[in-house]
Structure 1
Amino acid sequence: MDLGLKGRRALVMGASKGLGRAIANSLAAEGAALVISGRSQASLDVAAAELLALGAKSCVGIPADVANGEDMDRLADGAVAAMGGVDILVLNHGGPPPGTAMQITEPDLFTWFQRITVSPIRITMRLLPAMRAQKWGRILVVGSTGMQHPIPQIALSNTLRASIWSWLKTLSGEVAADGVTMNVIAPGTIKTDRVLETAGKNAATKGITVEESLAASAKEIPAQRLGIPEDFGPAGAFLASEQASYITGTMMRIDGGRVRAML
């Protein structure tokens, strides 16, 4: 299937590795032009070369930290300068450290609210007017199934990611008539550094090994295995595609069936 992404201009945040990289890989394979962000220029340069080899029309790495609002402005402006505009925006970043709800502190709330909610909104509002003017745009938030079904031991993530989901749901209705779609793509237990960190926390709490913690997680998934980034990236490319033009304000779970909720 031709997803209609050849030559489309995509800004993918947190794309040097993990889930952001998985989406960038799929967009590159469809011939999209890319700007990728992360905190290390060296890592971005390596990723950019690999994405060009996969078929990206062009690829530029711009370092940026979601903890810094001015970095979001610079990243948006740099992407527009590099590609002439942004058609697809993938909002992705690392999550807060594992912990229970009782362990959340007020400083943690302020710190991570900036990263999870404020910065993604800031860069979106900088790029959204041009999408609306051209009557085409795709905005994806890489979220978590914890937005819908709170996950033990990542209470701060559960709390704050719910706010960005609520914002997206609200805004998606305001821009849908302009040809701009906004969706959440929510990973379940997929083998990334984040999942390994959480498994380590759970293992330490329960007095078991990380491998035993991961195996226990797999047993709770109907697919009977953990996901891999290659399970995730193509779904992001589809939601960015021409074929997904009537899908907006939704959450797509990539979780092997783990969340049993019907909504």
Structure 2
Amino acid sequence: MKLGLQGKTALVLGASKGLGAAIAVALANEGVRVIGAARGVNDITALDAKVDKTNGGRIEARELDLSKSGSVAALAEALIAEGGVDILINNSGGPAPGEARSAPLDAWQSGFDSMIASVIDLTQRLLPKMVERNWGRIITLTSSGVDAPIPRLAVSNGLRLALVGWSKTLATEVAGNGVTVNVIVQGRIHTDRVDQLDEAAAKRGDTTVEAIRKASIATIPVGRYGKPEELADVVTFLASERASYVTGSRIRVDGGMIKSN
């Protein structure tokens, strides 16, 4: 299937590892000029060696700290001066585990600044160029917690829901301008973040990481954790010309884990 992505430019946040890295490589393999942004620029630069250059795609590294508004503004201004981007992948790290009854206010505030305010600010700055071209893709990664709250991830559950409401509202506003806006709801995709959460759960329960993973996998109908590349393929399709009629949607990539409709 030809996805019509050759020659497009994408900005992928959190591209130094995990889901962001997998998405950056998948898009570049379709001929996209990918600008990977994160604090670890050396890791992003190394990703370019994984790209099949036959379609003309490549990965460039830019430094970005989502917890600093000045860093967000500087990157946006630089990209706008270069002509903007066609595709924006909003992918931010998650806050530390904590219960709703005891999570400190500063955890909520810092999480809001890095997960919500920075994402919205960056999107608002880059959106006008998409509207001007009458073509754009905005895809925001959340977590299964927006559909089924995850125990001890109160800050993540609450804040990521804000991104869902914002995305749905934005999708309605820009649908007539050729810009689609969608949300990915991922389940247990095997990344460093999932490893950290499994290790924390094992420590709390005085058990082994293997036992935690076995119990987690038992809740997933396909019987395993997902691969970052599997999620990246879904994102790449949503970013493509072939997905022009998909907007305002929440797309689950969870192996059937979430039990609700």
Q: TM-score range by the shorter chain?
A: over 0.9
- 5 Å-filtered alignment, 1:111-130, equals 111-130=110-129
Indicate conservation of the 8 Å contact 1:25/1:54, yes or no. Answer: no
- Identical positions, percent: 42
Q: Which residue of 1 aligns with 2:10?
A: 10
Q: How far apart, in 2, do the equivalents of 1:49 and 1:56 lie?
A: 13
Match of 1:253, SS state, is strand
1:70 partnered with 2:64: no
Q: Which residue of 1 aligns with 2:162?
A: 163
Q: Which residue of 2 aligns with 1:144?
A: 143
Q: Which residue of 1 aligns with 2:20?
A: 20
Q: Which residue of 2 aligns with 1:107?
A: 106
Number of residue pairs the alignment of both structures matches: 261
Unaligned runs of 5+ residues in structure 2 are none
Q: How far apart, in 1, do the equivalents of 2:56 and 2:149 lie?
A: 36
Q: Which residue of 2 aligns with 1:258?
A: 257
The AA in structure 2 aligned to 1:71 is S
Deviation at 1:53, TM superposition (A): 5.1
TM-score, normalised to structure 2, is: 0.96
Residues 159 and 2 of structure 1: CA distance in aligned 2, closer, same or farther (over 3 Å): same
Once superposed, which parts of structure 1, at least 4 consecutive aligned residues long, lie more than 6 Å away? none
TM-score, normalised to structure 1, is: 0.95
TM-superposition CA deviations, 1:37-67 (whole Å, max 9, x none)? 1102222221234346585523320011000
Deviation at 1:81, TM superposition (A): 4.5
Q: Which residue of 1 aligns with 2:227?
A: 228
Residues 98 and 51 of structure 1: CA distance in aligned 2, closer, same or farther (over 3 Å): farther
Match of 1:124, SS state, is helix
Q: How far apart, in 2, do the equivalents of 1:52 and 1:132 lie?
A: 30
Q: How far apart, in 2, do the equivalents of 1:146 and 1:249 lie?
A: 18
Q: How far apart, in 2, do the equivalents of 1:157 and 1:98 lie?
A: 8
The AA in structure 1 aligned to 2:202 is A
Q: Which residue of 1 aligns with 2:40?
A: 40
Residues 4 and 197 of structure 1: CA distance in aligned 2, closer, same or farther (over 3 Å): same
Q: How far apart, in 2, do the equivalents of 1:152 and 1:164 lie?
A: 19
Q: Which residue of 2 aligns with 1:205?
A: 204
TM-superposition CA deviations, 1:50-88 (whole Å, max 9, x none)? 346585523320011000111112222333455x32000
Q: Select between 56-65 and 226-235 the one with higher mean Cα deviation.
A: 56-65
Indicate conservation of the 8 Å contact 2:136/2:179, yes or no. Answer: yes
Q: How far apart, in 2, do the equivalents of 1:252 and 1:151 lie?
A: 18
TM-superposition CA deviations, 1:150-197 (whole Å, max 9, x none)? 111211100110111111111110110101000011210011011111
Q: How far apart, in 2, do the equivalents of 1:157 and 1:192 lie?
A: 17
Residues 114 and 54 of structure 1: CA distance in aligned 2, closer, same or farther (over 3 Å): farther
Q: How far apart, in 2, do the equivalents of 1:225 and 1:77 lie?
A: 42
Q: How far apart, in 2, do the equivalents of 1:212 and 1:81 lie?
A: 51
Q: How far apart, in 2, do the equivalents of 1:74 and 1:107 lie?
A: 25
Q: How far apart, in 2, do the equivalents of 1:52 and 1:77 lie?
A: 30
Q: Which residue of 1 aligns with 2:190?
A: 191
Q: How far apart, in 2, do the equivalents of 1:70 and 1:3 lie?
A: 35
Residues 107 and 179 of structure 1: CA distance in aligned 2, closer, same or farther (over 3 Å): same
Deviation at 1:205, TM superposition (A): 1.8
The AA in structure 1 aligned to 2:39 is R
TM-superposition CA deviations, 1:189-226 (whole Å, max 9, x none)? 01101111111121112211111101110011011111
Q: How far apart, in 2, do the equivalents of 1:111 and 1:52 lie?
A: 38
Indicate conservation of the 8 Å contact 1:153/1:202, yes or no. Answer: no
The AA in structure 1 aligned to 2:57 is K
Q: How far apart, in 1, do the equivalents of 2:32 and 2:257 lie?
A: 32
Q: How far apart, in 2, do the equivalents of 1:119 and 1:131 lie?
A: 19
Unaligned runs of 5+ residues in structure 1 are none
